[in-house]
Structure 1
Amino acid sequence: MADRVYPSSKPAANGATAAAAGGGANPSFPANKAQLYNATRPVYRPQPSRRRHKRGCCCCCFLWTTFIVITVVILAAIAGVIFYFLYRPEQPNFAVNSLHLSQFNVSSTTLTSKLNISVSARNPNKKLTYFYDPITISTFSGDIPVGTGSFPAFEHGTKNTTTLKTTISTSKQTLDAGDISKLKSKKTLPLTLKLETKVKVKVGGLKTKKVGIRVTCDGIHVNVPGGKSPSKATTSNVDCKVDLRIKIWKWTL
């Protein structure tokens, strides 16, 4: 009787046999939850940071702005140097020729005064012409105002000296007791003149914008007149200083 051979294990299923035949490349079916989750999960790709992008834009704008400002400053400096060597600009000069105090009455509360003054303005430039607006002139003894007046507008030509004459006065100006006491106690008055106006400059066919100018003249001394004859001031040591009054927004320099 022939011997029968019994297999040692059950035959593998068709799917397992196919998987074995394929070398294990494909997963068994049905797939487990982990395999399904990994198959449908999107691939993560890092996005560029918006903060870094904004920082880069800010830095770039700052660098370009700084470069433009520096370039403008350098060009302005070069233009200024060229202008200076071509035209050699000098500021105008002012001097007090004479001052006569013809009236000076101080009461218990008020002041009445009258001064006749002559001022010369000199333009030392060969190629620059000045155009002055009307000039206001004020007189002070210390910090006490003792009179006001004005000069008319005028054109100041090249290498020219112009003489300006006017009357400075005040009528029954009210002062406090301290100022009245100071004025009554003095026989010789120290005076300061302040001239303020605006001026523009003509260079060839070009004219600049108007710029404020202030002239301050110190060192004037005059005797208080005792009678009807006016007193002549001493003006030999008068020093007149010219300052530009440049206004930037709300500030005046």
Structure 2
Amino acid sequence: MPAEELTESPPRKSGDGGDRKHPTKPTAYRRSPRVMRTFIGSILLLFLLAGVAALVLYLVYRPSKPRFAVVGAAIYDLNVTAPTVVFSDMQITVTIRNPNARSTISYDRMAAYVSLGGQPLTPPLRLPPLEQDEKSTVVMSPVFGGVPVAVSPEVAAALAAAETYGVVALRLVVAGRIRYNPGPFHSGRVGMHVRCDLMAAHRRGMSGQVPLLAAAGCWVDA
């Protein structure tokens, strides 16, 4: 029987690749950039949808500031009792309008006073807290004064001259905190500052209801 021919395989070069196994990247690793792009795109889309939803809710439930108006005034006493002291007793009727159809308004820590020439003629008066429904109007008639108040000589002289002339320019100031309650939401409490200027026909010695010579304009900062 012929002898088997033995053949020797030629030596493999180190660089020919032969049986060397090339490392193969896992499939998940090869796809990771695509997965990351999809994930980031989904997150951005969620943020965009959330922003659109928040904008829609804001436009629907956006509250408007309350509206104040002075509709009447009565002056029972307003005199310069000393060179720099004023004694007053007056009542001012104010309407507060909530113009919002989807938001109630809560008022608290409210105080009011009457001033002339930038100086108070009455001490601050605490007003009761108030819960106001949508599209509603509240009427308040606080009474101010009752105690002497020190003023500057300029304000005392201006008040005496105004009573002689028959027209007194007064300012009602209301300060406090409000909170809007639009639908299912609640805002934080914010400060409120109201200024109402009124021209009252009043002379020294007169007492009672006084005509308002012009519509009292009120400015609300809230």
Q: TM-score, normalised by structure 1?
A: 0.60
Cα distance in structure 2, aligned partners of 1:76 and 1:217? 41
Letter in 2 for 1:226: G
RMSD of aligned residue pairs (Cα, Å):
2.4
2:217 matches 1:239 = yes
Letter in 1 for 2:215: N
The within-5 A match list for 1:45-64 is none
**1:84–1:102 Cα change, 3 Å:** same
Letter in 2 for 1:143: G
8 Å CA contact 1:111, 1:170 repeated in 2: no
Letter in 2 for 1:181: A
**1:75–1:235 Cα change, 3 Å:** farther
Cα distance in structure 1, aligned partners of 2:50 and 2:215? 39
> CA deviation digits over 1:43-93, x for unaligned, max 9?
xxxxxxxxxxxxxxxxxxxxxxxxxxxxxxx99975663233322532211
8 Å CA contact 1:189, 1:223 repeated in 2: yes
2:151 matches 1:175 = yes
What is aligned with 1:249? none
> CA deviation digits over 1:155-206, x for unaligned, max 9?
0101111111210115222233333222222222101111111011112232
> How far apart are 1:102 and its partner, in Å?
0.7
8 Å CA contact 1:100, 1:230 repeated in 2: yes
Cα distance in structure 2, aligned partners of 1:80 and 1:215? 30
> How far apart are 1:236 and its partner, in Å?
4.2
**1:217–1:75 Cα change, 3 Å:** farther
**1:76–1:225 Cα change, 3 Å:** farther
8 Å CA contact 2:116, 2:155 repeated in 1: no
The within-5 A match list for 1:1-12 is none
**1:230–1:77 Cα change, 3 Å:** farther
Q: TM-score, normalised by structure 2?
A: 0.68
Bigger RCO (CA 8 Å, 6+ sep): 2
**1:149–1:84 Cα change, 3 Å:** same
What is aligned with 2:195? 216
**1:154–1:85 Cα change, 3 Å:** same
The within-5 A match list for 1:56-205 is 81-107=55-81, 108-147=83-122, 148-187=124-163, 188-205=167-184
Identity of aligned residues (%): 26
Q: Which ranges in structure 2 are unaligned for 5 or more consecutive residues?
A: 1-47
8 Å CA contact 1:224, 1:231 repeated in 2: no
Cα distance in structure 2, aligned partners of 1:218 and 1:185? 18
What is aligned with 2:13? none
> CA deviation digits over 1:18-53, x for unaligned, max 9?
xxxxxxxxxxxxxxxxxxxxxxxxxxxxxxxxxxxx
> How far apart are 1:151 and its partner, in Å?
2.2
Select the structure of larger CA radius of gyration. Answer: 1
